[in-house]
Structure 1
Amino acid sequence: MGAHDTRTEALAAAERAELVREIDADGAWAADPVWREAFATVPRHLFVPYYYVTGPRGHERRWCESPDPAARERWVRGAYADVPLATRLRDGELLSSSSQPSLMARMLVALGVEDGDRVLEVGAGTGYNAALLGHRLGDDGLVTTIDLEPEITESARQHLAAAGHHPAVVTGDGARGVPERAPFDRIIATCALPTVPRAWIAQCRPGARILTPLTTGLLSLTVADAGHAEGRFLPTAAYFVPLRGEGRAEPAGVSLAGLPPQAREQDAFHFLLALLRDALDAPEAYALWQREGEPDRGRYGVTVAGERAWAWLDDPEGPYAWPLP
């Protein structure tokens, strides 16, 4: 009995419908309901033939070809849970994962994809997001996805083909973009970066949108021209595996010394600390955060102008601005 017997497919269809109902109730695609059909159609289980869950004995592998029918059933049900799935580990370190579907839906809605758009995805992962994009656009030829690791791109290509999709899958450093497939109307990244790669902006058409994780937020930029882009963070938190390659994020070693205990629990304050990097020490940053009404992610933005990039609070020309790399 393989992964794709009739019973498995029937269970997958039922679980997929349940996942769509959950995301519906969450309101994730209320602003662009066209994504509902993509999630209802694209079979996520084909993109995660195995994944890892944390159990009492460390990481337990769930696998589509398990000889135990109960184990196969757990694999299918887990594939359609609204949670991120760890898909690649190396020496216990998470290398790649399939993002939480409701977060993917929010990101795709925020990306504002329109018919005919050319889209670059940075961080191919399992290939599932590229399949959703291909389904939405009705043309895989408009979708390019890139990842640094050849084994990730190879498996993504196989998963996509199994689901009937054939976008351009490129092996390379995502921070450099994919110039030979440019210009792009939309760029979406599914890995955390320390700044906005200038190559992405240069590879976009004027008016294009870039959606990328930055520290623990999601930044939505509008491109003015090849050297300029500006935009704000979405209100939602987002935690992604760091980009590997030239633009990789280094872990921030910010000292929390001198802070009151309640500051250590404040996610919105930690976001500001990560955005500041070393521009202010933690007590100064906390004083600013309190003085400005404990701002959440949605009040911050980023401007890229040529070689300069800076994060800001409320207004790009306002008093609070901090350089980005």
Structure 2
Amino acid sequence: MGMAQQSGNPPSCFDRSHPGELVSQVNWKPLAENLASVLEGSDDLVSPHWKQAFEEVPRHIFVPRYFQNQGGVPTRWKPLDTADGGDWLNPIYTNATLVTRLDPETAKSADGLFTGVPTSSSTQPSLTARMLEALDVQPGDWVLDGGTGTGYQTALIAHRLESADQLVTADIDPDLTSEALLNLEAIGITPNVLTVDVRDWTWPPESFDKVIITCALPRITETLRSAVAPGGRLVANLFPPLSGGLAVLDRMPDGSLEGRFQAGGGSFMAARTTAPAPPPPLASGPVGAQGETHVPVTAFDSYHFTFLLASTLPGAVLQYGTDDEGHTMRRLVMPDGAWAEGIFVGEQTRFRETGDRGIWDTIESWWGWFVDHDMPKWDRFGLSVSDEEHRLWYETPEGLSWRLPA
């Protein structure tokens, strides 16, 4: 393909060899073997069959171009492709997330670099490894891979199966699925590739032994829940954009899904729709309540605390900044613009919020509970999903639990 670059937009594709040629032209095997050894040493890879998959699947085939973070505010991105040789190849076989696409609506170019919002990436290999280990794929399983992306994870899963026919991979973006299919075919893998919204597609009931979703979901949709076969398993990242909770849920005899969150967590870009992405919510509305609070600024630096907020304040966005007097501020903004913020002056914290949503009451209530229970991490919590509700629980499904808002 030739380089296609328009003023102000990131290149949609770079000069590249045919993907099949990249397999033979690049000395990638030692790099892949080293990556697998690194992941084994960090205990992200445990099973010999997954280590073999990471050694034998060429990741570079799936990232013929990507954007390297150059720092700055806003972040500047350097495009790299096969013409950059080792500068392009070597980072691919490290434990790094690789940004593969920038939103053309936000991307701007200057001096060979780009700014813009990432919309697709090749997941950090350690996170991919942990999710695949948790998924526990067996050679005879039927598998749904939701969020095809580059296709690299699809290839790793196919390596474990008796036949690629047992694998369905789906993504909402036709550009991603068409390119992933091309790259998969180049290394002899031919799964079923669909361009659909994995969350809402009408999957045949009980059709998959294993389901893995590599985009962040607000909730497990009914079609996904019912697609898991008896005795099957679903692995997914939940409650964006605040949370990195990674749920491992098993199909129970009554048809519900139930399981714990992983200790290590894992964060993905939020699932997209076919409609243009809405802009970030803007805080709106006059101050409706204010006062003093005991919630410290450090509360909002805890991934485990914001996980609890995310579960009960769906779609909330956390903003960092200062108020008009230069005091540190943390603000939560809901999708409809309702907001609550804490202003931190020394040891004193004041809050204010709009409307009657009681957002700060939720923050304060969760913080008190979180501190009283010794600030528990993700793996102390679990989730039960039925056709009626999502229920977050602490320690055991029969113990303390909270019904989550839809």
Q: How does the TM-score come out when normalised to structure 1?
A: 0.89
Q: Aligned match of 2:130 in 92, 96, 106?
A: 106
State the match for 1:184 in structure 2.
208
Q: Mapping of 1:289-308 within 5 angstroms?
A: 289-308=370-389
* Structure 1 or 2: more helix by fraction: 1
Cα 1:198/1:6, change in 2 over 3 Å = closer
**Aligned equivalents of 1:62, 1:35: Cα separation in 2:** 28
**Aligned equivalents of 1:123, 1:178: Cα separation in 2:** 16
Answer whether contact 2:147 2:198 (CA < 8 A) is retained: yes
Cα 1:197/1:236, change in 2 over 3 Å = same
State the match for 2:299 in structure 1.
263
Alpha-carbon displacement from aligned partner over 1:248-289 (angstroms, at most 9, x marks no partner): 99979999x942133222221122221222786111111000
Answer whether contact 1:54 1:60 (CA < 8 A) is retained: yes
**Aligned equivalents of 2:187, 2:24: Cα separation in 1:** 18
- Note if 1:59 corresponds to 2:77: yes
Q: Aligned match of 2:41 in 6, 25, 38?
A: 25
DSSP 3-state at the match of 2:234: strand
**Aligned equivalents of 1:20, 1:253: Cα separation in 2:** 44
Q: Mapping of 1:123-138 within 5 angstroms?
A: 123-138=147-162
**Aligned equivalents of 1:252, 1:307: Cα separation in 2:** 29
| Greater mean alpha carbon deviation, residues 275-284 or residues 76-85 | 275-284
Q: Aligned match of 1:275 in 311, 329, 332?
A: 311
| Greater mean alpha carbon deviation, residues 104-113 or residues 299-308 | 299-308
Cα 1:5/1:305, change in 2 over 3 Å = closer
**Aligned equivalents of 1:6, 1:234: Cα separation in 2:** 35
Answer whether contact 1:193 1:249 (CA < 8 A) is retained: no
Percent sequence identity over matched residues? 31
**Aligned equivalents of 1:303, 1:6: Cα separation in 2:** 44
DSSP 3-state at the match of 2:262: strand
Cα 1:136/1:252, change in 2 over 3 Å = farther
Structure 1 runs, 4 residues or longer, greater than 4 Å off: 1-8, 248-255
State the match for 2:110 in structure 1.
none
Answer whether contact 1:232 1:301 (CA < 8 A) is retained: yes
Q: Mapping of 1:1-325 within 5 angstroms?
A: 3=17, 4=21, 8-10=25-27, 12-30=28-46, 32-55=47-70, 58-64=76-82, 66=83, 71-90=84-103, 91=106, 92-177=116-201, 179=203, 183-215=207-239, 216-224=244-252, 227-245=255-273, 258=293, 259-277=295-313, 281-325=362-406
Answer whether contact 2:16 2:64 (CA < 8 A) is retained: no
**Aligned equivalents of 2:211, 2:183: Cα separation in 1:** 22
Whose radius of gyration is greater, 1 or 2? 2
| Greater mean alpha carbon deviation, residues 1-10 or residues 139-148 | 1-10
Amino acid at match of 2:123: S
DSSP 3-state at the match of 1:75: helix
Alpha-carbon displacement from aligned partner over 1:70-125 (angstroms, at most 9, x marks no partner): x2111110211211100111121211111011110110000011120000011000
Shift of residue 224, structure 1, vs aligned partner: 2.2
Amino acid at match of 1:191: C
Gaps of at least 5 residues in structure 1 are: none
DSSP 3-state at the match of 1:191: strand
DSSP 3-state at the match of 1:220: strand
Shift of residue 16, structure 1, vs aligned partner: 1.1
Cα 1:182/1:229, change in 2 over 3 Å = closer
**Aligned equivalents of 2:57, 2:89: Cα separation in 1:** 14
Answer whether contact 2:36 2:55 (CA < 8 A) is retained: yes
| Greater mean alpha carbon deviation, residues 269-278 or residues 163-172 | 269-278
Answer whether contact 1:310 1:324 (CA < 8 A) is retained: no
Gaps of at least 5 residues in structure 2 are: 1-14, 107-115, 284-289, 315-358
Q: How does the TM-score come out when normalised to structure 2?
A: 0.72
